[in-house]
Structure 1
Amino acid sequence: MEYIDVAVIGGGQSGLATAHSLLRVGLRPVILEASEQAAGSWPRYYDSLTLFSPARYSALPGLPFGGDPDRYPHRDEVVAYLVRYAERLDADIRTRSRVTAARAAGDGFALDLEGGQRLGARAVVTASGGFGRPNRPTLPGLDTFAGALLHVSEYRTPEPHEGQRVVVVGAGNSAVQVAAELAQVARVSLASRAPVRWFPQRPLGRDLHYWLTVTGLDAAPLGRFQRRPATMAVIDDGRYRASLAAGRPDRRPMFTRVDGPTVTWDDGTKEEVDAIILATGYRPDLGYLTPLGILDGSGRPRHRNGASLTHPHLVHVGLEWQRSLSSASLRGVGRDAERAARRIARQLRRS
């Protein structure tokens, strides 16, 4: 079995930022990435996805995003940026290396990889799986739906739904973005338990992320006060709110039941629907940590600000609300990565 100092599980934005910080403190990380390239989940998001943060606030440590700093980068720009970041990073990145189990082994860990390979590591950073499992809520009769039932993770473009009757479930950024896009080619309703909440993208003429930065709110250590993420307001420059106001899409309270192809709305009316798209978020997919016994009942690791509460050489990076509002974002993960690297360096020097 091969032995290494630090294994970073995941080669997306969290893993790359952590590897950068580990190199800066004199450690030689090995990044274990399950897919064919170090770009995380970004290549699998819907085609029209655009960041809400400008390029100047969307870079990882050590490499500016490039181009107009005030533009809002497209999904493909983010993928290209992460690939470029990985290429410039002097780290051992092993693609097609999916970790299936992490086990305690003495003062360190043994990692089982898909295909039967095993690695020993003195320390482990988990930087993958925080958003790996699409959340599919249990709604009355949804399992009987006769049309196309998708999670937003499976949605790519509106063309397959042209001319259809579509219901998008959710009230967050992705739900509103996808529903407004689909409404250009289909009849669409946005169904949610609560009304959409809005937040302007440019309050007082400056981008929201400018204000989050200058006030310090973006980096404030609020994680310990926020066990579960609050329902986030939709960040909008006015376009999406106008679309809903015009009824493209319309917004309705959550339907009460599904029977085959028929949806029953809260006022008792029924109609046939061609497709239901669940824009209902994600849950952690950290099953590879099960042998360590560190996951709570919802599948989240027990930690404080990313540091494991049970295993001193184990840290997490990229979890939602791990330490701050921006912990799981391109703009904020570098701060948590730096803290994780310093912690690991201190612990390995002591052992």
Structure 2
Amino acid sequence: MTQHADVVVVGGGQAGLAAGYHLRRQGLDFMILDADTAPGGAWQHMWESLHLFSPAEHSSLPGRLMPAQPGETYPDAGHVVDYLTDYEKRYGLPVQHGTRVGAVRRDAGGLLVEADTGIWLAKAVISATGTWSRPFLPAVPGRSVFTGRQLHTVNYCSPADFAGQRVVVVGGGNSGAQIAADLALDGNAHVTWVTQRPPRFLPDDIDGRALFDVAAARRRALDAGRTDTGGLASLGDIVAVPPVRAARDAGLLTAKPMFSRLTASGVRWDDGSRAGADAIVWCTGFRPALSHLAPLNLRGPRGHIPTDGTRALGEARLHLLGYGDWTGPASATLIGVGRPARDAAREIAQLS
């Protein structure tokens, strides 16, 4: 039997919850379908030492400030999960956990959302599935011949899993720096950090508050037709959170250039130098998890769906939320997702 709703939100993490908050304020009937069996979105799958870049009060969803975590300036991932769990309950958001959406299709009456628990017919859909479920692994020569362990950021848990091992961490962004620092400060593994280009650390006094302001200023400039400020890329790639700072200042975060290939027992550079490895941790980013939208045939360059704000240009009943700046300035952050979620809910409310 097909169920009906004004709006179906696909994904119950931070973006999906922010959407739910604003859809309720618009008086719309909606359902949030979430593949995870418990609240917390991707935060419940993060590695043990991960902390936010910003203090709690600057990491909040609309309507509810995140409480401070005792003894921590920057809350850890577990605190974020608790906050999102409380947020979902506090606002009584209708989240159906353990429900995976396989496809969204056009239908005469709206958009048909096919889930493993049933079918929904909605006047509009908000896709808020994020990127965590779609890790990216580069096509590096020799990946198939390496006999050690290969894992992505999504699989990393703690240094205890690598005690006594030689670990190569690949990636010059925040995840790569933080995981390399985590392993190096623990001291029980031999760590080689490899980056595509020399790592660029942001000034030590910059955290998530400043990053959000920079991203918002860039978007305002672009919307007004002014010169591109360069945004975050003009400042650097890596936020110097306390563990990263400590490892860097102790000389434990000296990056080597990207190797040319993997061998059976490690990695090799173009100059013939080698490093043995028992494990490779690929901190090489993610791609938008959009396979459920494939039947709509909306994909554009780089796998993105072209949008005006959050609205898909090829399907006015579809909004995309929380995937990055192309779906709203800083929309992949806790503090940044509120405004595009509000705008999406308002646009949907105006649909005839």
Q: What's the TM-score once normalised by structure 1's chain length?
A: 0.90
SS of equivalent to 1:189: strand
Q: What is the CA deviation profile of residues 71-103 of structure 1, one whole-angstrom value per residue up to 9, with x for unaligned ones? A: 211000000000000001233211111110000
CA contact (8 A) 1:168 1:276 kept: yes
Q: 1:255 to 1:245 in 2, by over 3 A?
A: farther
> Residue 129 of structure 2 aligns to which amino acid in structure 1?
S
Q: The residue matched to 1:41 in structure 2 has which SS? A: helix
Note closer, same or farther for the CA distance 1:64–1:245 as it changes in structure 2 (3 Å cut). closer
Residue 191 of structure 1: aligned partner: 194
Cα shift at 1:170: 0.4
Alignment of 1:307-322 (within 5 A): 307-322=311-326
Contact 2:212 2:330 in 1 (8 A): no
8 Å CA contact 1:37–1:95 kept in 2: the answer is yes
Alignment of structure 1 residues 6-155 onto 2, 5 Å: 6-67=7-68, 71-115=73-117, 117-155=118-156
Q: Paired residue for 2:299, among 292, 295, 304?
A: 295
- Contact residue 38 and residue 82 of structure 1 kept, 8 A: yes
Check whether the contact 2:56–2:66 (CA below 8 A) recurs between aligned residues. yes
Deviation at 1:322, TM superposition (A): 2.5
Identical-residue share of aligned pairs (%): 37
1:296, CA displacement in angstroms? 2.6
Superposition deviation, residue 240 in structure 1: 2.3
CA distance in 2, matches of 1:8, 1:278: 31
CA–CA distance in structure 2, aligned partners of residues 238 and 72 of structure 1: 10
Alpha-carbon contact 2:181-2:253 (below 8 Å) kept: yes
Matched, 1:260 2:264: yes
Question: Is the contact made by 1:111 and 1:118 (CA closer than 8 Å) also made in structure 2?
Answer: yes
SS of 1:250's partner is coil
Q: How many angstroms does 1:10 deviate by?
A: 0.6
1:236 counterpart SS class:
coil
For residues 140 and 246 of structure 1, do their structure 2 counterparts lie closer, same or farther at Cα, with a shift above 3 Å needed?
farther
Q: Is the 8 A contact 1:28 1:91 kept in 2?
A: no
Deviates further, 106-115 or 217-226: 217-226
CA distance in 1, matches of 2:150, 2:110: 43
SS at match of 1:243: helix
For 1:275-294, what aligned pairs fall within 5 Å after superposition?
275-294=279-298
1:220-259 equivalences under 5 Å are 220=220, 222=222, 233-237=237-241, 239-241=243-245, 243-244=247-248, 246-259=250-263
Structure 2 match to 1:336: 340
1:249-268 Cα deviation digits (max 9, x unpaired)? 43101111211113113432
Partner Cα distance (1:15, 1:22) in 2: 10
Cα distance in 1 for residues equivalent to 2:238 and 2:214: 21
Q: Deviations over 1:281-329 (max 9, x none)?
A: 1011211101111123543222121111011111111011135541110
The answer as to 2:217 corresponding to 1:200 is: no
Counting matched residue pairs gives: 344
Structure 1 Cα separation of the partners of residues 125 and 38 of structure 2:
20
The 1-side partners of 2:51 and 2:196 are apart by: 26
Shift of 1:220: 3.6
Report the Cα offset of residue 177 of structure 1: 0.7
Moved over 6 A (4+): 223-226
Aligned equivalents of 2:301, 2:334: Cα separation in 1: 28
The Cα of 1:25 is off from its aligned counterpart by: 1.1
CA distance in 2, matches of 1:338, 1:321: 16
Using the alignment, how far apart are the partners of 1:280 and 1:30 within structure 2? 33
Q: Which moved more, 1:145-154 or 1:184-193?
A: 184-193
Do the aligned partners of residues 346 and 65 (structure 1) sit closer, same or farther apart at CA in structure 2, a change above 3 Å counting? same
Distance 2:215 2:45 in 1: 33
Contact 2:103 2:293 in 1 (8 A): yes
1:10/1:211 Cα in 2 relative to 1: closer, same or farther (>3 Å)? closer
* 3-state SS in 2 of match to 1:282: coil
User: Structure 1 85/78 Cα, relative in aligned 2: closer, same or farther at 3 Å?
Assistant: same
Residues 215 and 232 of structure 2 are in contact (CA less than 8 Å); yes or no, is this contact kept in structure 1? Answer: no
Distance in 1 separating the partners of 2:301 and 2:63:
37
Cα offsets for 1:104-130 (capped at 9, x unmatched): 002511111115x21111111101144
Letter in 2 for 1:51: L
1:32-65 CA distances to partner (integer Å, 9 max, x unpaired)? 1111123211111111110001111100001111
Q: Provide structure 1 residue ranges, at least 5 long, that are not aligned to the other structure.
A: none
Q: Which amino acid aligns with 1:200?
A: P
